[in-house]
Amino acid sequence: MTDVLDELHWRGLVAQTTDEAALRSALAEGPITYYAGFDPTAQSLHVGHMVQLLNMRRLQLAGHRPLALVGGATGLIGDPRPTTERSMQSRDVVAEWVERIRGQIEPFLDFEGASAARMVNNLDWTGQMSAIDFLRDVGRHFRVGTMISKDIVARRLQSDEGISFTEFSYQVLQGMDFRELYTRYGCTLQLGGSDQWGNLLSGVELIRKTEGVAAHAMTSPLITKADGTKMGKSEGGAVWLDPELTSPYAFYQFWLNQADADVVKYLKVFTFRSREEIGELEQAVAERPFAREAQRALAGDLTTLVHGQGATDAVIAASQALFGKGELRDLDEPTLAGAVAELPRTTAKAGDLLVDVFVGAGLVDSRSAARRAVAEGGAYVNNVKVTSDEQELTAADLLHGRYAVLRRGKRTLAVAAAG
């Protein structure tokens, strides 16, 4: 239990701590109880949330006890964003999202044994509290001058829109959560992202004032790419943990496509691979970048962690089959759908001339170009070579009755979807 803080530092996962020497001592004397909170401001967590989920798991593996808080109360408000007010969701929607996110958190933690995790919901202690009790018992411990000096609040106050009292009160609610978890479970450490530092300190200070105890806070840095931009978004938007929002295939491809300049850092942050394993992969990046061994390790580890080994195996099989190294007909429909989701596409039906389908998909510029591709042996449907420029798309070509994978040459792909 004494090495976990050094491990987090090595992985680049410590941005700020309240008192590192005191925290190190508490961890060494442990086990301690700690928590991280996840607000249901969307129906799914995204890859950015994985930093705290994995930090929780690392501390649990070191013998400490995690509390995973899903904010059924704070999710009704949402923490302030840098620019504009959040759109509030109905209570029913937030309650549904709470259950979805609980299910996404559970695979990351162990809920049995001496260091068993516990799932908690701040609506349990906030929902029945009156406004008078909130103001008398909690609000009186917070100073407005301190609250408005918090970075996110200060920025919103300087904006044209300003900030509502609702979002302004978020830091009080989060501080109350920390104190409640201290009194209920002896929780003395809160984890969060560096953008949450002010909110974490609110809880530390509330516990000090009301309980006379020195609690701890620790943040992780915002994970960025080598060019300084924020990690966690693809061209289509956020990369979600929910397979209905981001398919396992797209999830795998997101990690596989990480740049050589970023992949070693991401292996440290997002995987449980040892220093030796990561060192070997770092050497592979330097010596054999074309092989993308580090990216494959990263993509495989994370897809298995989030979606399971079966999904990873299916994704790899789909990747190979798209380029003729496997049988497309063996892929189940969700995997195939995920594999072709980002490909250029056209609508087609049985009986359409394949030369027209290839033109419609943008694989060639014209019918004459399509005929040349066929004559040169460079046109394929579901990895089967097209042998005649009079050949038609058949019902059997539409896999699962929906998709035909088109290929020109070795690597130029598109999909014809039944329409």
Binding residues for ATP: 233
8 Å CB contact between 94 and 75: yes
Whether 182 and 190 have beta carbons less than 8 Å apart is answered as no
Give the H/E segment covering residue 372. helix 367-375
| Distance between CA atoms of residues 397 and 190, nearest Å | 55
**Alpha helices per DSSP H over 161-258:** 165-168, 170-185, 197-211, 248-256
Answer whether 72's CB lies under 8 Å from 148's CB: no
Q: How far apart are the first and last CA of the chain?
A: 59
Count CB-CB contacts under 10 A for residue 299.
24
Cis peptide bond N-terminal to 31, omega within 30: yes
**Between the CA of residue 413 and those of 184, 363, 403, 404, what are the distances in Å?**
57, 7, 13, 11
Binding residues for L-tyrosine: 35, 170, 174
- Are 249 and 339 contacting, i.e. CB atoms less than 8 angstroms apart? yes
Among 143, 139, 206, smallest CA distance to 178 is for 206
Structure tokens at 262: 């970023």
The strand order across the sheet containing 345-348 reads 345-348, 412-418, 403-408, 379-381, 384-385
Q: Which residues are annotated as a binding site?
A: 35, 170, 174, 233
Phi-psi group of 417: left, alpha or beta (phi > 0 → left; psi -120 to 50 → alpha; rest → beta): beta
Regarding beta strands 187-193 and 216-220, do their DSSP bridges make them parallel or antiparallel, or are they unpaired? parallel
